[in-house]
Structure 1
Amino acid sequence: MEATITLVVIMDPPGTVPVFLSLVGRKTPLARARAARQATLVSLLVISLFAIAGQAILAYLGIGIPALQGAGGLLLLLIALDLLTGRGGSEPEVVEDVNVALVPLGTPLLAGPGAIAATIVFVREASGHLGAYTALAAAIIVVHLLIYLSMRYSGLVIRLIRESGITLLAKIAGLLLAAIAVELVANSVRGFIAGG
């Protein structure tokens, strides 16, 4: 239960809706559903991979959580600037679909440094207890189901806000993403200072 609550707070399923709509709000319902499915699957795969082998991967590459936070923050900042300046709409649709599923939705927004770090911590705490591992796996699945449902049924929001609302939402989402990015970079700097 603790893992579920923590991951819900960090990954924030309802909070993904503005960003999701700002990126795919003008697409067809079918394209939005596909993007929601792809982003959720990408996030699920990344989180599962780090649950299974996260400690080993980070140790092998010599990467700490602060470096992961810094990279995620910079990546989100680039996406936020695109949303704020309106340059994101100039890409071809196929490329945009792929990018939306992988970046920024799948990672680093959903499967970001916070979610990855929390997952690694919960795996450490489980320390060989099958029940704890099962509870963590269930938590990961439940959170991703909530994320998928939030994005999948975001079309209801589109009917209310229309085209001008989507444009406004893109600007607000860009600002929020920029704030999240700055927070990640700040946490990264704090982590490096504390670690050094």
Structure 2
Amino acid sequence: MFNIKEIISVTLILFSVIDVVGSLPVLIDLRKKVGKIESEQATVISGVLMVSFLFVGERILNLFGVDVASFAIAGALIIFLIGLEMILGRTIFKSEVSAGGATHIVPIAFPLIAGAGTLTTIISLRAEYQTANIIVGIVINLILIYAVLKSSEWLETRLGPGGLDVLRKIFGIILLAISIKLFKTNLIAGF
């Protein structure tokens, strides 16, 4: 049932697509805006989204009359705006803090962690790998995501303000490039 080679492949593919380390400047930016990142909540919700999408993703999208390409394009637009925020230093997304503390399922759990790229990758992995191995790969990624979310403040102090600013701009450009690639690929796939 469990295949180590499949688990490693799925884990590496998802780790590349999720790119939680590359999202560090975005996470630090968000923490500064809202005061605190709810690491446990963001990780659990990301996991629920990924596992749910593994089993019912295409059916949910079909229920709303949305194809995978359209879903990916919507995610690409959100990623594009986040990249613009990072490069220009302007706030596009307003942070909403509830009375109970910081709540930011959007944009951390979706689209940064369990975004259109991750969810569409999970759908495509299902065609090649056993479901149990995909779930193990998702769980391993969730552990890594939690570790990065929990240590974002520590990593920020190690990098310093100058290092963070440089990282923020670089990863802003990378996010723009990823969003344009997602947009372009799925726009063509939509026709």
TM-score band w.r.t. shorter chain: 0.7 to 0.9
Q: Distance in 1 between matches of 2:93 and 2:106?
A: 18
Equivalent residue, structure 2, for 1:4: 11
* Alignment deviations for residues 33-74 of structure 1 (CA, whole Å, 9 cap, x no partner): x2x333322321211111121121122223222111211111
Which of 141, 144, 148 does residue 146 from structure 1 map onto?
A: 144
Equivalent residue, structure 1, for 2:110: 107
Equivalent residue, structure 2, for 1:123: 126
Which of 38, 41, 62 does residue 38 from structure 1 map onto?
A: 41
Query: Aligned in 2, Cα 1:54/1:85: closer, same or farther, shift over 3 Å?
Result: same
Alignment root-mean-square deviation, CA: 2.7
Pairwise CA distance, 1:19: 2.1
Contact 2:87 2:168 in 1 (8 A): yes
Query: Aligned in 2, Cα 1:91/1:75: closer, same or farther, shift over 3 Å?
Result: closer
Query: Any idea what SS the aligned residue of 1:87 has?
Result: coil
Equivalent residue, structure 2, for 1:129: none
Q: Distance in 1 between matches of 2:121 and 2:186?
A: 15
Query: Aligned in 2, Cα 1:65/1:166: closer, same or farther, shift over 3 Å?
Result: same
Q: Distance in 2 between matches of 1:48 and 1:108?
A: 15
TM-score by length of 1: 0.78
Pairwise CA distance, 1:145: 0.9
Equivalent residue, structure 2, for 1:20: 27
Higher share of residues assigned helix: 1
Q: Distance in 2 between matches of 1:90 and 1:10?
A: 23
User: Residue type of the partner of 1:77?
Assistant: F
Equivalent residue, structure 1, for 2:4: none
Q: Percent identity?
A: 26
Pairwise CA distance, 1:119: 1.4
Which of 55, 60, 68 does residue 58 from structure 2 map onto?
A: 55
Q: Distance in 1 between matches of 2:179 and 2:168?
A: 16
* Alignment deviations for residues 70-107 of structure 1 (CA, whole Å, 9 cap, x no partner): 111111112222222323299567269434x321x211
Query: Aligned in 2, Cα 1:73/1:92: closer, same or farther, shift over 3 Å?
Result: closer
For structure 2, which runs of at least 5 residues remain unmatched after alignment? 1-6
User: Residue type of the partner of 1:148?
Assistant: Y
For structure 1, which runs of at least 5 residues remain unmatched after alignment? 127-131
User: Residue type of the partner of 1:109?
Assistant: L
Q: Distance in 2 between matches of 1:92 and 1:113?
A: 21
Contact 2:73 2:186 in 1 (8 A): yes
Q: Distance in 2 between matches of 1:25 and 1:168?
A: 16
Q: Distance in 2 between matches of 1:11 and 1:144?
A: 10
* Alignment deviations for residues 128-183 of structure 1 (CA, whole Å, 9 cap, x no partner): xxxx3222211111111111112211223212233344344333332222222111
Query: Any idea what SS the aligned residue of 1:15 has?
Result: coil
